[in-house]
């Protein structure tokens, strides 16, 4: 008994101080913890690669790639996201500016502003930070961005091309998930993948690439067997689908939706959820959809929140912006 208590103390010290990859279970046995997939470190690697490519691009006589971020209203989370994007862009040699409007801006005025940027030859990438105020039709606004400058990949043409496995601009969050699976060497070929959440900008493009044929033109297919679960999937069914999954991608914004008893031992869990919560001390913090502290004991690999998919989303937006800059030059 004393032996077990000692082990538990040692494991607690290791886990908190040294980030051990093992923990001691309730019977006193040492168990492996899942690999934490460090999105922040991978995002830095990708930004460093892009920084070199952009440097070479400019040295070859091109102007710096340029990005415009339009933000409407005062939502603090949206302002944080835009700041993250401008900082990342500036750091790697992309010329980036924020264009801020009051929440009272009309849909017509927003579309007029987008059209000015569409016609500006010194602008390569345009994004409109979502969500927009309820008075503005997001679909109409996304379709107003010139498809070749649509670095968010939300234009109807870019969505259609993605669905047809054609080369296109892919939404950054979906590209972030796919890039993490590739760079962390998570095998998807013929595996069972579950996507939890069916949003048009996140769940749909992820599910689309996961199930698609790698041999098709886009080269982004992952050849997995994909199940899409959503708010009308009964909880018992969600559990069954998840327990059968080799890979779970969750993007719901429901904290602790994905629990340890829903995980196949060794599975890979990618947490796209971001929810701001206030803890007991009144501090706000970010949490994902995954009950991380428990899931990490069963899964083979899991992305943390913060520091998982979020930073990778920003890195892949930079990838999209450089891609847009190169395509425009070829025309
Ligand atoms: C991190 C986003 C929901 C709705 C609209 C780093 C970001 C987030 C987290 C970030 C997100 C989420 C963005 C972390 C951009 C990702 O350290 O974990 C970066 O800036 N994101 C967005 O632009 O719009 C959203 C989530």
SS (H, E, C) the chain: CHHHHHHHHHHHHHHHHHCCCEEECCCCCEEECCEECCHHHHHHHHHHHHHHHHHHHHHCCCCCCEEEEEEECCCHHHHHHHHHHHHHHHHHCCEEEEEEECCCCCHHHHHHHHHHHHCCCCCCEEEECCCCCCCCCHHHHHHHCCHHHECCCCCHHHHHHHHCCCCCCCCHHHHHHHHHHHHCCCCCCCCEEEEECCCCCCHHHHHHHHHCCCCCCCCCCCCCEEEEECCCCCHHHHHHHHHCCCEEEECCCCCCCECHHHCCCCCEEEECCCEEEECCCCCEEEECCECHHHHCCCCCEECCCCCCHHHHHHHHHHHHHHHHHHHHHHC
Based on the residue annotation, tell me whether 259 is a catalytic residue of this protein.
no
Q: Which of 47, 124, 129, 289 is catalytic?
A: 129
Q: What is the pLDDT of residue 4?
A: 47
Whose alpha carbon is nearest atom 12 of ligand 1? 310
Task: Determine contact, residues 188/222, Cβ cutoff 8 Å.
Answer: yes
| CB count in 10 Å sphere of residue 29 | 11
Instruction: Give the Cα separation of 107 and 135 in Å (integer).
Output: 8
Q: What is the pLDDT of residue 14?
A: 42
Whose alpha carbon is nearest atom 22 of ligand 1? 81
Q: What is the pLDDT of residue 141?
A: 99
Instruction: Give the Cα separation of 327 and 323 in Å (integer).
Output: 6
CA of 81 to the centre of ligand 1 (A): 5
Ligand 1 environment, Cβ below 6 A: 81, 84, 130, 274, 286, 305-307, 310-311, 313-314
Whose alpha carbon is nearest atom 2 of ligand 1? 81
Whose alpha carbon is nearest atom 26 of ligand 1? 274
Q: Which of 43, 67, 77, 81 to mutate to test the pocket of ligand 1 (most atoms within 8 A of CB)?
A: 81
Encode pLDDT of 152-200 as tens digits: 999 999 999 999 999 999 999 999 999 999 999 999 999 999 999 999 9
CA of 298 to the centre of ligand 1 (A): 27
Whose alpha carbon is nearest atom 8 of ligand 1? 310
Nearest-atom number in ligand 1 for the CA of 306 is 18
Task: Determine contact, residues 96/129, Cβ cutoff 8 Å.
Answer: no
Q: What is the pLDDT of residue 11?
A: 44
Based on the residue annotation, tell me whether 85 is a catalytic residue of this protein.
yes
Based on the residue annotation, tell me whether 281 is a catalytic residue of this protein.
no
Q: Which fold has domain 63-152?
A: Rossmann fold (3.40.50)
Kindly report the CATH class assigned to 163-311. Answer: alpha beta
Q: What is the pLDDT of residue 20?
A: 57
Ranges of each domain in the chain? 63-152, 163-311
Task: Determine contact, residues 98/85, Cβ cutoff 8 Å.
Answer: no
Structure tokens at 108: 């017509």
Of 304, 131, 284, the closest CA to residue 202 belongs to 131
Q: What is the pLDDT of residue 5?
A: 44
Instruction: Give the Cα separation of 179 and 163 in Å (integer).
Output: 18
Q: What is the pLDDT of residue 279?
A: 87
| CB count in 10 Å sphere of residue 326 | 14
Nearest-atom number in ligand 1 for the CA of 253 is 3
Nearest-atom number in ligand 1 for the CA of 81 is 20
Are both 63-152 and 163-311 of the same fold? yes
Give backbone dihedrals phi and psi of 191, rounded to 5 degrees, phi first.
-85, 160
Which residues does the chain have with pLDDT short of 70? 1-20, 328-331
Nearest-atom number in ligand 1 for the CA of 85 is 20
* Mean pLDDT across the chain: 93
């Amino acid at each position: 008994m004393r032996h077990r208590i000692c082990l538990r103390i040692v494991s607690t010290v290791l886990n908190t101080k040294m980030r051990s990859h093992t923990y001691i279970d309730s019977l006193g046995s040492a168990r492996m913890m899942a690999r934490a997939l460090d999105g922040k470190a991978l995002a830095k690697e990708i930004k460093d690669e892009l920084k070199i490519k952009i440097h070479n691009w400019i040295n070859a006589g091109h102007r710096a790639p340029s990005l415009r971020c339009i933000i409407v209203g005062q939502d603090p989370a949206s302002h944080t996201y835009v700041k993250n994007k401008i900082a990342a862009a500036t750091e790697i040699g992309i010329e980036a500016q924020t264009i801020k409007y009051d929440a009272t801006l009309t849909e017509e005025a927003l579309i007029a502003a987008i059209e000015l940027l569409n016609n500006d030859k010194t602008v390569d990438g345009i994004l409109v930070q979502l969500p927009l105020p309820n008075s503005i039709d997001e679909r109409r606004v996304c379709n107003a961005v010139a498809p070749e400058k649509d670095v968010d990949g939300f234009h109807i043409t870019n969505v259609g091309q993605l669905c047809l496995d054609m080369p296109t601009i892919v939404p950054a969050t979906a590209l972030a998930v796919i890039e993490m699976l590739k760079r962390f060497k998570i095998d998807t070929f013929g595996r069972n993948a579950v996507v939890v959440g069916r949003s048009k900008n996140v769940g749909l493009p992820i599910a689309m690439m996961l199930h698609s044929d790698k041999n098709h033109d886009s080269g982004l297919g992952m050849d997995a067997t994909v199940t899409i679960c959503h708010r009308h999937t009964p909880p018992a069914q969600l559990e069954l689908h998840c327990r059968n999954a080799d890979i779970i991608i969750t993007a719901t914004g429901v904290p602790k939706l994905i629990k340890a008893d829903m995980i196949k031992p060794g599975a890979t869990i990618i947490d796209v959820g971001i929810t701001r919560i206030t803890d007991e001390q009144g501090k706000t913090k970010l949490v994902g959809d995954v009950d991380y502290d428990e899931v990490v004991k069963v899964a083979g690999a899991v992305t943390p929140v913060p520091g998982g998919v979020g930073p990778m989303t920003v890195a892949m937006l930079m990838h999209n912006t450089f891609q847009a800059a190169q395509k425009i030059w070829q025309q």
